[in-house]
Chain A
Amino acid sequence: MSLENFMSDAISPWMKENGPDCDIVMSSRIRLARNFENRSFPLIAKAEELDDVLEFFQENYQDTAFDQQGALQFIRIADLSPIEKKVLVEKHLISPHLTEHAEEAGVLLSESEQVSIMVNEEDHLRIQLYLPGFQLQKTLNEAFKVDDWLEQKITYAFDEERGYLTTCPTNVGTGLRASVMMHLPALTMTHQMNRLTPAINQLGLVVRGIYGEGSEAQGNIYQISNQITLGKSEQDIVEDLESVVSQLIEQERQARETLTEELSIQLEDRIFRSYGTLRYSRIIESKEAATCLSDVRLGIDLGYIEDMPQSILNELMVLIQPGFLQRYAKRSLSGRERDVLRASLIRERMHLENN
């Protein structure tokens, strides 16, 4: 297996599979923060100490295999080109933080791209596990398996009272960040997200857009995650998140129903205009592309558009990001060049589905 595998496809293999409630929940993610017991945390550790950690991973885990996830590959971030780094960030396989500390950072990636273990991020270890659709419980179980497996060789920084010890006090205890990526076009169109977001925050959960800056959620894609990591078991954290997500799914379904009943022709018009834009435009900015992709995806979910896979939103949302475009062009591109290439890639991709 080579690095090329992780770079060539915009969507990870697991994204092509349909998970539960995948018309609304695109993916479930579990992240566990862990540190070595007797080493300074990456924030203040010396370069040699961090190198030791990288060496440890290289030696112990390179080309090992874990469970059903296929072979694991250890990659030093310093060995990646700027564009390759961007691509891995855009696929959510590594964090921007990791690339900012590239000199001493690494990642252990599974062939399935479901497991990503970041090394020397803010904590020594950030274990991430993804599953398609809405299946947090299963994702947690899988992440625990990886955690137990790593623990065979690593003594974690752990305290009876405080739990897993982390660099940031906001992660201490379970070190768990559970999250789902949701496509919520109907709730956004009907301006209900503005009302729901504060209510969800009140419950100790965080709602944010994944693409785009500030509070906007490009492509109507939101991430919902837990904030509290201490004093609640992983099980409780996941169950609380699940119950809020279930309610959001319900609300989104209702809003979609209302839209199709009351604004059927307007909705259909909007969906097909967006479809036309994606199909025929020659220049398209990422924001417009994201909006149109969201409409088209909604059109697929509601049955207005046939012969298009649901995964087109996941795939094209990644494909239209700057890193991926430049990876494709094999050079860095100006803003205008990106908009032209973006339009052309989208046209090509949609043409592929219709033939």
Chain B
Amino acid sequence: MECQECHIRPATLHLTNVINGQKTEMHVCEQCAKENGYVSYGQEGYSLHNLLSGLFHMNPSSIQDHKQFSQSSTALACPKCGLSYHEFTRVGKFGCASCYETFEDNLNPIFRRVHSGNTKHEGKIPKRMGSGIEKKRKIAAYRESMQEYIQAEEFEKAAEIRDKIRLLEQQEEEES
């Protein structure tokens, strides 16, 4: 079988990728796999190459929501800095803040693997944009505990929290 990328060398790597339940197979030579960042070799230790490429042949759950390998994302590029998605997976680095938005759909699996399953920031907030975000976090936390009270059928407590949420939401509207 010849490599489906270069059509010159024989395909020595057979990668399986599951997208939205659709199984696609890739047959590539080592060199193309390396050049396209599907796999990496000889790199010592912990590199993003390994992590990104690992997505193609590691546990299926992380592959499933990894929509990266569709036709459209091969051509995807950041409008601000010009970094292509392809280049991003090869180098493993972002070019600017807008890259995060541009590649948004593909980032969760990467972050999950790098940060032991985490995808959402829980830390410091810049002072100047602080109060709004703080409020949103509070509302989100209230919503969660409201759900818990509802589940436990403690409706009075749930209602109390609902009022707190309303108050915060009102404040937010007044400010904006």
> Which A residues are within 8 Å of any B CB, using their own CB?
35, 37-41, 43-44, 122, 144, 147-148, 151, 155-170, 172-174, 176, 204, 228-237
**Which chain B residues lie closer than 8 Å to A144 at the CB level?**
124
Q: How many residues of B contact A (CB 8 A)?
A: 34
Contact across chains for A40 and B80 when beta carbons are under 8 A apart? yes
Q: Does B176 contact A (CB under 8 A)?
A: no
Contact across chains for A169 and B95 when beta carbons are under 8 A apart? no
* Known contacts A43-B95, A168-B92: A161-B114 contact under CB 8 Å: no
Would you list which residues of chain B between 99 and 118 have a CB under 8 Å from chain A? 100, 107, 110-111, 114-118
Contact across chains for B133 and A40 when beta carbons are under 8 A apart? no
Residue contacts A-B, CB under 8 angstroms, 17 given: A38-B97, A144-B124, A151-B126, A151-B128, A157-B97, A158-B125, A163-B124, A164-B121, A164-B124, A165-B97, A165-B100, A169-B93, A229-B115, A230-B120, A232-B118, A233-B123, A233-B124
* Known contacts A43-B93, A44-B95, A165-B97: A234-B124 contact under CB 8 Å: yes
* Known contacts A165-B100, A228-B115, A231-B117: A174-B95 contact under CB 8 Å: no
Q: 1/0 per residue B26-41: CB within 8 Å of A?
A: 0000000000000000
Task: Write the nearest CB–CB distance from B61 to chain A, whole angstroms.
Answer: 18
Contact across chains for A151 and B127 when beta carbons are under 8 A apart? yes
Would you list which residues of chain B between 71 and 97 have a CB under 8 Å from chain A? 80-83, 91-97
**Which chain B residues lie closer than 8 Å to A156 at the CB level?**
126
Q: Does B15 contact A (CB under 8 A)?
A: no
Contact across chains for A170 and B48 when beta carbons are under 8 A apart? yes
Which of B114, B124, B126 lies at the interface centre, i.e. has the most chain A CB atoms within 10 A of its CB? B124
Contact across chains for A155 and B128 when beta carbons are under 8 A apart? yes
B-side interface mostly: loop
Contact across chains for B93 and A168 when beta carbons are under 8 A apart? yes
Having A43-B93, A163-B124, A164-B124, one finds 11 other A-B pairs with CB under 8 Å, namely A122-B93, A157-B96, A161-B120, A162-B111, A163-B121, A169-B110, A174-B121, A228-B118, A231-B119, A234-B124, A235-B123
Closest 8 pairs between A and B when the two form their complex, measured CB to CB: A231-B118, A163-B121, A157-B97, A230-B115, A174-B123, A44-B95, A233-B123, A40-B96
- Cα–Cα distance between A347 and B2 once the two chains are bound (Å): 67
- Cα–Cα distance between A294 and B118 once the two chains are bound (Å): 39
- Cα–Cα distance between A236 and B118 once the two chains are bound (Å): 14
- Cα–Cα distance between A162 and B92 once the two chains are bound (Å): 17
Task: Write the nearest CB–CB distance from A335 to chain B, whole angstroms.
Answer: 26
- Cα–Cα distance between A165 and B93 once the two chains are bound (Å): 11
**Which chain B residues lie closer than 8 Å to A170 at the CB level?**
48, 114
**Which chain A residues lie closer than 8 Å to B100 at the CB level?**
159, 162, 165
Contact across chains for A228 and B116 when beta carbons are under 8 A apart? yes
Q: Does B129 contact A (CB under 8 A)?
A: yes
- Cα–Cα distance between A144 and B130 once the two chains are bound (Å): 14
| CB closest residue in chain A, given B110 | A169
- Cα–Cα distance between A26 and B3 once the two chains are bound (Å): 54
Q: Does B136 contact A (CB under 8 A)?
A: yes
**Which chain A residues lie closer than 8 Å to B92 at the CB level?**
168-169
Q: Does B175 contact A (CB under 8 A)?
A: no
Contact across chains for A44 and B122 when beta carbons are under 8 A apart? no
- Cα–Cα distance between A164 and B133 once the two chains are bound (Å): 13
**CB contact between B121 and one of A38, A155, A204, A231 (< 8 Å): that residue:** A231
* Known contacts A170-B114, A231-B117, A231-B118: A163-B123 contact under CB 8 Å: yes
**Which chain B residues lie closer than 8 Å to A166 at the CB level?**
94
Contact across chains for B127 and A160 when beta carbons are under 8 A apart? no
Contact across chains for B48 and A44 when beta carbons are under 8 A apart? no
* Known contacts A232-B118, A232-B123: A41-B94 contact under CB 8 Å: yes
- Cα–Cα distance between A158 and B116 once the two chains are bound (Å): 21
Q: 1/0 per residue B125-157: CB within 8 Å of A?
A: 111110001001000000000000000000000
Contact across chains for A231 and B114 when beta carbons are under 8 A apart? no
Contact across chains for B118 and A230 when beta carbons are under 8 A apart? yes
- Cα–Cα distance between A173 and B119 once the two chains are bound (Å): 9
**Which chain B residues lie closer than 8 Å to A173 at the CB level?**
115, 118, 121-123
| CB closest residue in chain A, given B91 | A43
Task: Write the nearest CB–CB distance from A50 to chain B, whole angstroms.
Answer: 13
Contact across chains for B94 and A169 when beta carbons are under 8 A apart? yes
Contact across chains for A161 and B93 when beta carbons are under 8 A apart? no
* Known contacts A40-B81, A167-B94, A204-B116: A230-B127 contact under CB 8 Å: no
- Cα–Cα distance between A122 and B92 once the two chains are bound (Å): 13
**CB contact between A172 and one of B111, B122, B124 (< 8 Å): that residue:** B111
- Cα–Cα distance between A305 and B83 once the two chains are bound (Å): 59
Contact across chains for B115 and A160 when beta carbons are under 8 A apart? no
**Which chain A residues lie closer than 8 Å to B133 at the CB level?**
160
Task: Write the nearest CB–CB distance from A39 to chain B, whole angstroms.
Answer: 7
**Which chain A residues lie closer than 8 Å to B48 at the CB level?**
168-170
